[in-house]
Amino acid sequence: MPTRVSAPARVFPASLEQVPPDMRLPYYKDGARYLIDGRVRTWNGPCEEAVSPVCVGDGGSLHRHVLGRYPMMTAAEAREALAAAQRAYDNGCGTWPTMSVADRIRHVEEFLPRVAAVRDEVVRLLMWEIGKTLPDARKEFDRTVDYIRDTIQALKELDRTSSRFAVEQGFVAQIRRSPLGVVLCMGPYNYPLNETFTTLIPALIMGNTVVFKPPKHGVLLHAPLLQAFADSFPPGVVNTVYGAGRVVAGPLMEGGGVQVLAFIGSAQVAALLKHQHPQPNRLRCVLGLEAKNPAVILPDADLDLAVKECTLGALSFNGQRCTAIKIVFVHRSVAPEFCRRLADAVGALSVGMPWEEGVQITPLPEDDKPQWLKKLVDDAAAGGARVLNAGGGTIDQTLYYPAVLYPAQPEMEVCQVEQFGPVLPVVPYDDEQQVVDWAVKSPVGQQASLFGGDARRLSQLIDTLVNQVCRVNINSQCQRGPDVFPFTGRKDSAEGTLSVSDALRVFSIRSLVAAKANEVNEAIVSEIVRGRHSNFLTTDFIF
Ligand code: G3H
């Protein structure tokens, strides 16, 4: 039964029989499989158990439920995966990188129904592996399928523009986008499907070949997709590696065979991976890293709206979103009322298992995360902040009941680190310049949310904050979507811009064929186009 944050009660199932039959996950036998060179193989080497954040009782005590096993590969298998991707790319001469755009699109279109066919399995694994609620797990899956469809449309549009010839200063040219090489894709545990695919799909469709490594939590859910990849793409175009990042990702980078690093995770790991590459100038990086997005509550803010958006923005999926609101600055004049309403809203959140209807707070997948959050809260308490909401900060196994901290100070650890969990520090301020100064000093700069009604006062903040972060939200929470909007960050928040269309650019480079516009060259170009001899030099229109 779900409970309220304000009234913690036992919420974990005492036995598997207490889980509704259609939500149970039998031991997942297919986890120890991998895809290299177009073949899905069974892994016979050492494996690691995938454990759920959901604890289940076994007659006495509660244990993190064991879901299945996944391969713990070594550097040798990682190199094998890389070699397969390199063969498929063949220094840009392979079938995939030289294929026509229309044909590559056809492969991705074939992939779509195969992905859709495993929706229920992937959604259930998402719930059990990372504790995502059923509606959010479905949303992540459907959003990913939409992203693939939108990517196909965006590439068609891009190709339609590129299929024209440019005539300039005595030259005739065709300008297109070409692939870059082998891409290493590493997604995060909070969006293990979506954030892996938002780099993997654009990378693929632009003609690159890919090695991808699923995150530790959210690893099994990729298994049902391996056959879909194998059936949809030529051998070696998509390959998987599993295991500890330092064991498999390091050797991939050190060999210099990776041309693009697409990584969503911590700034520290990104820096490590980048520096392992022997020719960093040849490496393109597409990074989604850390964030400490502030919400600013101005004196004339609609407090009901601000509370609703801050609660959602800070605590959906337990605050485990890079775009989550991770610190609130509230004008001192409205701080007591805002805090009272915020504490009530957080206290009313529903805590429970991912499949329970209306549940909002669920178990956390990262090892010892509740204990780490407790340390942050204890440190803030020692500095004079207190937990405002009843039951906030309670730990029950892998559950951490969300805590609103007030008055927090910018110097406190909880205001400086990315908590990536259900703890929300609220800092009172007197002058907006204090918020701007905080943002200037912050090592990250992704988004901010402003709550207020005074257009002039908002404008002043907008004009300074757009140079500190990359998206300023007015009277609404921070978020990535709609996925056609640019998603990026400054400082240690990101490198490169992702959106449906930007991602196509990030994973490709402009290249052109140009000729002096004279009779001979015009005849050659015409013959190439009319005879459809080239996949690059073509005026074919993709419908
Ligand atoms: O974790 C970062 C995600 O890209 C955030 O996406 O704002 O749609 O939850 P979202």
* DSSP for 6-48, written as a single string: TB----S-SSGGGS-GGG----BGGGSEEEETTEEEE--S-EE
Closest residue by Cα to residue 225 from 187, 254, 252: 187
CA of 382 to the centre of ligand 1 (A): 32
CA of 141 to the centre of ligand 1 (A): 13
Tell which of 273, 288, 303 closes a domain. 288
CA of 215 to the centre of ligand 1 (A): 16
pLDDT at 294: 99
Tell which of 245, 263, 288 closes a domain. 288
CA of 342 to the centre of ligand 1 (A): 22
Q: Which residues of the chain have pLDDT under 50?
A: none
Q: Which ligand 1 atom is at minimum distance from the Cα of 195?
A: 4
Q: Which amino acid is at 136?
A: D
CA of 479 to the centre of ligand 1 (A): 6
pLDDT at 60: 80
> What CATH number has the domain bearing residue 100?
3.40.605.10
Determine the 3-state secondary structure of 207 from DSSP: coil
Q: Which ligand 1 atom is at minimum distance from the Cα of 321?
A: 1
- Structural domain contains residue 64: yes
Evaluate whether 197 touches 144 at the Cβ level (below 8 Å): yes
Q: Interior CA angle at 250 toward 247 and 252, to 5°?
A: 105
- Structural domain contains residue 535: no
Based on the domain organization, do 275 and 127 belong to the same domain?
A: yes
Question: At residue 274, what are phi and psi to the nearest 5 degrees?
Answer: -60, -45
Based on the domain organization, do 440 and 480 belong to the same domain?
A: yes
- Structural domain contains residue 528: no
Question: What does the pLDDT look like over 75-90, one tens digit per residue?
Answer: 999 999 999 999 999 9
DSSP readout, 123-171? Answer: HHHHHHHH---HHHHHHHHHHHHHHHHHHHHHHHHHHHHHTSPEEETTE
Based on the domain organization, do 284 and 301 belong to the same domain?
A: no
Based on the domain organization, do 191 and 61 belong to the same domain?
A: yes
Q: Which ligand 1 atom is at minimum distance from the Cα of 188?
A: 1
Closest residue by Cα to residue 369 from 53, 76, 59: 53
- Strands 47-57 and 423-429 come out as unpaired
- For atom 4 of ligand 1, the residue with the nearest CA is 480
- For atom 7 of ligand 1, the residue with the nearest CA is 479
Cα(477)–Cα(446) distance, integer angstroms? 13
Question: At residue 144, what are phi and psi to the nearest 5 degrees?
Answer: -70, -45
Q: Mutation test of ligand 1: which of 126, 143, 322, 488 has the most ligand atoms closer than 8 Å to its C-beta?
A: 322
pLDDT at 375: 98
Based on the domain organization, do 283 and 381 belong to the same domain?
A: no
Domain of residue 92 covers 31-288
CA of 323 to the centre of ligand 1 (A): 5
CA of 430 to the centre of ligand 1 (A): 31
Evaluate whether 269 touches 100 at the Cβ level (below 8 Å): no
CA of 48 to the centre of ligand 1 (A): 28
Based on the domain organization, do 265 and 346 belong to the same domain?
A: no
CA of 195 to the centre of ligand 1 (A): 8
Based on the domain organization, do 277 and 347 belong to the same domain?
A: no
Q: Which ligand 1 atom is at minimum distance from the Cα of 487?
A: 4
CA of 473 to the centre of ligand 1 (A): 14
- Structural domain contains residue 122: yes
Strand partners, 495: 287
> Which residues have C-beta within 8 Å of that of residue 524, sequence separation ≥ 6?
515
Q: Which ligand 1 atom is at minimum distance from the Cα of 316?
A: 9
Give per-residue burial for 378-411: e unless 16+ CB within 10 Å, then b.
eebbebebebbbbbbbbebbbbbbbbbbbbbebe
Evaluate whether 519 touches 184 at the Cβ level (below 8 Å): no
Strand partners, 67: none
C-alpha dist (Å) from residue 405 to 386, 401, 414 = 5, 13, 9
CA of 493 to the centre of ligand 1 (A): 13
CA of 480 to the centre of ligand 1 (A): 5
- For atom 8 of ligand 1, the residue with the nearest CA is 480
- Strands 399-400 and 444-445 come out as unpaired
CA of 160 to the centre of ligand 1 (A): 31
CA of 329 to the centre of ligand 1 (A): 22
Question: In the structure, which protein residues have their CB atom closer than 6 angstroms to any atom of ligand 1?
Answer: 190-191, 195, 321-323, 479-481
Based on the domain organization, do 377 and 248 belong to the same domain?
A: no
Q: Which ligand 1 atom is at minimum distance from the Cα of 198?
A: 4
Question: What does the pLDDT look like over 383-433, one tens digit per residue?
Answer: 999 999 999 999 999 999 999 999 999 999 999 999 999 999 999 999 999
Based on the domain organization, do 239 and 270 belong to the same domain?
A: yes
C-alpha dist (Å) from residue 229 to 34, 35, 78, 232 = 11, 8, 18, 5
Cα(215)–Cα(53) distance, integer angstroms? 15
pLDDT at 1: 76
Based on the domain organization, do 282 and 322 belong to the same domain?
A: no
Q: Mutation test of ligand 1: which of 191, 325, 484 has the most ligand atoms closer than 8 Å to its C-beta?
A: 191
Distance of CA 305 to the CA centre of its chain: 27
Tell which of 228, 260, 288 closes a domain. 288
Determine the 3-state secondary structure of 103 from DSSP: helix
Cα(first)–Cα(last) distance of the chain, in Å? 52
Strand partners, 71: 47
Q: Mutation test of ligand 1: which of 195, 325, 502 has the most ligand atoms closer than 8 Å to its C-beta?
A: 195
- For atom 6 of ligand 1, the residue with the nearest CA is 480
Q: Which ligand 1 atom is at minimum distance from the Cα of 317?
A: 9
Domain count, the chain: 2
Cα(458)–Cα(460) distance, integer angstroms? 5
Q: Which ligand 1 atom is at minimum distance from the Cα of 191?
A: 1
Cα(375)–Cα(370) distance, integer angstroms? 9
Give per-residue burial for 216-229: e unless 16+ CB within 10 Å, then b.
bbbbbbbbbbbebb
C-alpha dist (Å) from residue 128 to 121, 139, 213, 243 = 11, 15, 20, 20
- Structural domain contains residue 6: no
Based on the domain organization, do 254 and 313 belong to the same domain?
A: no
> What CATH number has the domain bearing residue 416?
3.40.309.10
Token pair in block for residue 343: 């504490």
Evaluate whether 296 touches 432 at the Cβ level (below 8 Å): yes
Cα(332)–Cα(337) distance, integer angstroms? 10
Token pair in block for residue 175: 């300008």
- Structural domain contains residue 58: yes
pLDDT at 332: 98
Q: Is the previous residue joined to 224 through a cis bond, with omega within 30 degrees of 0?
A: no
pLDDT at 59: 81
DSSP readout, 292-304? Answer: -EEEEE-TT--HH
- Structural domain contains residue 21: no
Q: Mutation test of ligand 1: which of 186, 309, 323, 483 has the most ligand atoms closer than 8 Å to its C-beta?
A: 323
Q: Which ligand 1 atom is at minimum distance from the Cα of 143?
A: 8
Based on the domain organization, do 182 and 264 belong to the same domain?
A: yes
Helices (H), 163-266: 194-205, 223-232, 245-254
C-alpha dist (Å) from residue 90 to 37, 83, 230, 270 = 13, 10, 19, 27
Helix (H) or strand (E) holding 33: strand 33-36
- Structural domain contains residue 113: yes
